[in-house]
Chain A
Amino acid sequence: MISRHKISRRQALRASAGLAAIAAVGAPSILHAQTRTLKITTWGGKWGDVMKATVLPAFEKEFKCTVSADQAFPFVPKLQASPRNDPIYDVLHTNSNEQWSSLVEGLVMDKITAKEVPNVADVYPYAVSDKIVGVTIFTSAIGLGFRTDKGLAKPTSWKDLADPKLAGSRGGYIIPVNSLGQAHFMMLGKVYGKGLTDLDAAYKALETLKPIKLVDFTGQMEKMLLSGEVSMGVIHDSGVYRYDGQNQPVDFAGPSEGVLALEQVLNVTPGSKVKDLAFGYINYMLRPDVQKLLAEAVWYSPASKKVKLDAKYDARLLTTPAKVATLIQPDWKWYNARKEDIDARVTKILKG
């Protein structure tokens, strides 16, 4: 026997409202369950602003995912502490030296090729050279920043930093904690000795740079140059060029012995659960439009050969094979293996 209930209008409305409420509450969680999340590291400052305002939202829209971006240093120890099969990041963005340390720990992949990331086919050779773990998306050139209001001639050689007139007003980095300092230390071996790995020559040259003002990050060096606390210091080109148009008496010089590469490297963690998305993100970051946007925002030289920058940027950044050829890439694998000894020795040299 079938009982037949008559549903009142009020009951029908209640039921509809209930279903709508369930749908409204449940839908985001269902949607969230379907939306994948890509966990990345990225820089702060102007770079971070552009990433959050433009680059990442466009990526999320195109790839129908959410991006969780960590800007809080240090990245590698956090990755080190997370489980290998469920890493805290899917994509690790660091400078080259940290990628090498991460590779030794098994935290990142060895190489990123055009097979996984098609746009790798369009990068300059330095971006995927044997000195790189992962793939370089941008580089800046480490050279000498100097004040233009102190009567100094534009430096042409790394040796100009040792000019006695600059005693106490030259700037460098706390070598154990800064990759620019480490790169400059190796360059001392090349300029004063047999090559980048000539440690004895580098130690000796470091002595001649005393007294020197040392900082632990590039932002501090920028402030020292801007305030006049330092008249000449080791810095990357974007750290000077970003003040273009602000009437600051500072300029950048690329020494004749060559400029050092400060690569922005992306890599994927082997345990990532969204590897395809991670590779997609790296491919996206190498797209000419994204490269142009970021390069012109922060004065980084794009790794992609296909990028055409506006004239102002094109004139100063490393955008041709000839300019790129002036880049010197340190062997970070070699350096990291000796880092503890070098740290101890340079600490003793620079103390006091």
Chain B
Amino acid sequence: MSTWARPSPIAWLVAPAALLFVLFFILPFGVMAAMSLFSGNPANNPNAFLTTRHYERFLFDTAGIYHDALWSTMRIGLITTIVALLIGYPLAHWMARMQSRLGHALVLMAVIAPMLTGIVVRTFAWMTILQDKGVINTLLIQWGLTDKPLPLMYNEFGTVVALVHIYVPFMVLTLTGVIGRIDERLEQAARSLGAGRLRAFVEVTLPLSLPGILAGSLLVFALSISAYVTPSLMGGTNVLTLPMLIAQQVGTSFNPNFAGALGVILLLVSLVIVVAYNRILARLSGEQGMA
């Protein structure tokens, strides 16, 4: 007689999330990866055959734009993450150490408020600020500080500015939780033993907040490298990222197979960077396998 072990209640609780993950990540990724190895869509094209030509096209880059696009994607992702961390960390630290509940609630609302507006709207708002006839350039010209508009948009600068604005809340919210759990008395103990404010921060608070830095950075990096709307609108033709190329391949070149290959490549390169980043931070904090 066979006996069936009853699934634990935890398994039942996890099941919906697991199902969601399988249906909306594993399955689409599997289809995309499979499509990237075919010449066409095997579901409705009997002549579609297995091929590695889409990966070869990227690898040999005879067009001379794919490697640039990958590098540009990673560069924008890294710069956005670093700037978001530099802006987000002090803000998160301030919020976490704030004594006033009302003050904390107000700052939290200020951080979350931009997230209540859509990305497209926020990007268009940045366009009205940074374009040649925008708020900044108009004021600079009116005040006689410059003769012609500064190139604030249609470049990586404008793209990073808008991305940082959009993703800083993710960094702040992640870091606030982690810094808030660090016992303040540890910092006070360091100071009572003669450490200055800076040293106490660098040697006590910062290492203890590394898990938050890691989580926030990975979140912002992942969102930045997969961003499509903001680089498209803010970057013009001076910015070409892999998500933009993928959209072009699907939407106007009607080549989902090459788009699939680009998606797989973006994921693999991102994974390599994430693993490397995790290891570096783990080594810095003296721990292993932080994430």
What is the interface of chain A, defined by CB distance below 8 A to chain B?
73-74, 76-77, 80-81, 83-84, 101, 105, 168-169, 174, 176-177, 213-216, 227-229, 339-341, 343-345, 347-348, 350-352
Q: Out of B240, B253, B254, name the residue touching A351 (CB < 8 Å).
A: B240
- B238 interface residue (CB < 8 Å to A): yes
| 14 A-B pairs with C-beta separation under 8 A | A74-B252, A77-B256, A83-B43, A83-B44, A84-B44, A176-B252, A213-B154, A213-B236, A214-B236, A216-B232, A344-B65, A347-B240, A348-B65, A350-B237
Q: Are B65 and A340 in contact (CB under 8 A)?
A: no
- For A176, list chain B residues within 8 Å (CB): 248, 252-253
- For A77, list chain B residues within 8 Å (CB): 250-251, 254, 256
Q: Are A229 and B250 in contact (CB under 8 A)?
A: no
Chain B binding surface, main DSSP class: loop
- For B149, list chain A residues within 8 Å (CB): 168
Q: Are B251 and A177 in contact (CB under 8 A)?
A: yes
Count of residues in B whose CB is under 8 Å from the partner chain: 25
Q: Are B133 and A227 in contact (CB under 8 A)?
A: yes
Q: Are B240 and A229 in contact (CB under 8 A)?
A: no
What is the interface of chain B, defined by CB distance below 8 A to chain A?
41, 43-44, 63-65, 131-133, 148-149, 154, 232, 236-238, 240, 247-248, 250-254, 256
- Given contacts A340-B63, A351-B238, A105 and B251 within 8 Å (CB-CB): no
- For A174, list chain B residues within 8 Å (CB): 236-237
The 6 A-B residue pairs whose C-beta atoms are closest, nearest first, are: A344-B63, A350-B237, A74-B251, A177-B252, A214-B237, A84-B44
Select from chain A the residue with minimum beta-carbon distance to B255. Answer: A340
Q: Out of B43, B133, B238, B254, name the residue touching A101 (CB < 8 Å).
A: B254
- For A74, list chain B residues within 8 Å (CB): 250-252
- For B43, list chain A residues within 8 Å (CB): 83
- For B256, list chain A residues within 8 Å (CB): 77, 80-81
- Given contacts A77-B250, A176-B248, A341 and B63 within 8 Å (CB-CB): yes
Compute how far the CA of A216 lies from the CA of B248 in the bound complex, rounded to whole angstroms: 11
- The smallest C-beta distance from B216 to any residue of chain A, in angstroms, reads 31
Select from chain B the residue with minimum beta-carbon distance to A101. Answer: B254
